[in-house]
Amino acid sequence: MTVSERIEQLKSEALSAVASGASTADLEDIRVRFLGRSAELTEIKKSIGTLSPDERKEIGRSSNLASREIEAALGSRAEEVAAREQEERLQAEAADVTLPGVPFPRGHLHPSQIVIDDVIDFFVGLGYRVAEGPEVETDYYNFTALGIPPGHPARTMQDTFFVDDGLVLRTQTSPMQIRTMLAQEPPVYVVCPGRTYRRDSDPTHTPMFHQIEGLAVDRGLTLGHLKGTLGAMARHVFGEGVEIRVRPSYFQFTEPSVEMDVSCFVCGGRDPHCKVCKGAGWLEMLGAGMVDPGVLEEVGYDPEEYTGYAFGMGPDRMAMVKYGVPDLRLFFEGDLRFLRQF
Ligand code: DAH
């Protein structure tokens, strides 16, 4: 066999090896076998110097062509094999996205917070601002500035936690009326949710509970504005069908003062055995009134120019009636069996 014939033979052996090379590693072996430093074709090229000039030209050309052809075949086969190997890897590592996931335990809002958010949303929609204040309050803001001076029986009637000289745990969110008015000029439209404290514990009282205070001071505000606003709020929180009624009452910082009831949203006043209203047809909801001129003077507002209304409600109580919970203490015990029901 001539050298040229041997080159042709090596080339076709190499090409068929490449064609059946099944992996990147196979192809690397084939490259070493046919083109490596001690491959036969390489040896032939090394010996070219010993040949006659004519042979040298012929063998040089055909051995180079053979190498290049083998290189090219290796290159394109390597691409095919790599693509297939990648495909196989992806198949093997694929995740079955249809398998059920691991459920993530998800919390939700506390029933009192649901009512607070609902009330706040309503007032924010009317343009009221939201303000929060301290739970340890001076007795000036909690009492004196609200028409309850030292020695006034209301101070003990409110089951106050006295903390220290002149400090109490706030018994109501009403001190936020004073703080708000001292910090700004009228008009004022503000709601103040927060925690309040009284020494009291039974099925409908807990030492910590929530209140939401509301205050509007502007030119020309009347009891009509108060009634209209609170009626719309009751419909927002308890449902379109509810009605309200306003009864005379007494608070030291409003004149006149009222209490507001909502018609029972469960029986509508038609069921004498209703568990929620106990047949009364009405549910007590909040205290309110026109801001006492003395309070406006206390904060430096001119009561001849401005009038205002204020209201205070207990969102925990509202949640009790809304969700039919008989014992307020359940709200604050943190028992998940209770809380998960909302
Ligand atoms: N602070 C009162 C309470 O805790 C509730 C209240 C009544 C708030 C009348 C008001 C109001 O703003 O005008 O019993």
The pLDDT value recorded for residue 104 is: 86
Distances (CA, A) of 25 to 10, 28, 33, 250: 21, 5, 12, 94
Same domain, 13 and 131: no
The answer to whether residue 306 sits within a structural domain is: yes
- Find where tokens 């083109």 sit: 35
The answer to whether residue 77 sits within a structural domain is: yes
Number of H helices, E strands in the chain: 12, 10
The answer to whether residue 106 sits within a structural domain is: no
**pLDDT tens track, the chain, 342 positions:** 888 899 999 999 999 999 999 999 999 999 999 999 999 999 999 999 898 888 889 999 999 999 999 999 999 999 999 999 999 999 999 988 899 988 888 888 999 999 999 999 999 999 999 999 999 999 999 999 999 999 998 887 778 999 988 899 999 999 999 999 999 999 999 999 999 999 988 888 899 999 999 999 999 999 999 999 999 999 999 899 889 999 999 999 999 999 999 998 788 888 899 877 888 899 889 999 999 999 999 999 999 999 999 999 999 999 988 888 888 899 999 898 998 888
Q: For residue 246, what are its two tokens?
A: 């306003």
Q: For residue 285, what are its two tokens?
A: 């909801």
Task: Tally the domains of the chain.
Answer: 2
Same domain, 43 and 120: no
Atom of ligand 1 nearest to the CA of 309: 13
Same domain, 219 and 250: yes
Q: Rounded CA gap, 58 and 51, in Å?
A: 10
Question: Which mutation among 146, 158, 192, 311 tests ligand 1's pocket best, with the greatest number of atoms within 8 A of CB?
Answer: 311
Same domain, 58 and 203: no
Same domain, 188 and 74: no
Last residue of a domain, one of 92, 127, 155: 92
Q: Rounded CA gap, 41 and 59, in Å?
A: 11
Atom of ligand 1 nearest to the CA of 287: 7
Cα of 331 vs centre of ligand 1, distance in Å, is 22
Q: For residue 297, what are its two tokens?
A: 């003077």
The answer to whether residue 128 sits within a structural domain is: yes
The pLDDT value recorded for residue 182 is: 98
Same domain, 36 and 71: yes
The pLDDT value recorded for residue 128 is: 98
Same domain, 295 and 154: yes
Regarding pTM above 0.85, the answer is no
> Which residues have a Cβ under 8 Å from the Cβ of 28 and sit 6 or more positions away?
none
Distances (CA, A) of 289 to 42, 88, 161, 312, 330: 106, 77, 26, 10, 31
Atom of ligand 1 nearest to the CA of 211: 4
Cα of 158 vs centre of ligand 1, distance in Å, is 12
The pLDDT value recorded for residue 268 is: 81
Cα of 312 vs centre of ligand 1, distance in Å, is 4
The pLDDT value recorded for residue 215 is: 98
Last residue of a domain, one of 92, 127, 158: 92
Same domain, 45 and 178: no
**Angle at the Cα of 220 from the Cα atoms of 219 and 223, rounded to 5 degrees:** 130
Q: Rounded CA gap, 242 and 263, in Å?
A: 6
The pLDDT value recorded for residue 17 is: 93
Residue 141 near residue 175, CB atoms below 8 Å: yes
Cα of 261 vs centre of ligand 1, distance in Å, is 14
Cα of 332 vs centre of ligand 1, distance in Å, is 23
Cα of 218 vs centre of ligand 1, distance in Å, is 19
Same domain, 13 and 126: no
Q: For residue 306, what are its two tokens?
A: 């401005």
**Ligand 1, atom 8: nearest CA belongs to which residue?**
312
| 279: region left, alpha or beta (phi > 0 left; psi from -120 to 50 alpha) | left
CATH number of the domain that 277 lies in?
Answer: 3.30.930.10
- Residues in contact with ligand 1 by the CB-under-6-Å rule are 172, 174, 213, 251, 254, 287-289, 310-312
The pLDDT value recorded for residue 1 is: 85
The pLDDT value recorded for residue 255 is: 97
Q: Rounded CA gap, 168 and 142, in Å?
A: 8
**Angle at the Cα of 340 from the Cα atoms of 336 and 342, rounded to 5 degrees:** 140
Same domain, 60 and 155: no
**Ligand 1, atom 2: nearest CA belongs to which residue?**
312
Q: For residue 119, what are its two tokens?
A: 């009330």
Question: Which mutation among 174, 176, 223, 258 tests ligand 1's pocket best, with the greatest number of atoms within 8 A of CB?
Answer: 174
Tell me the residue range of the domain where 144 lies. 111-339
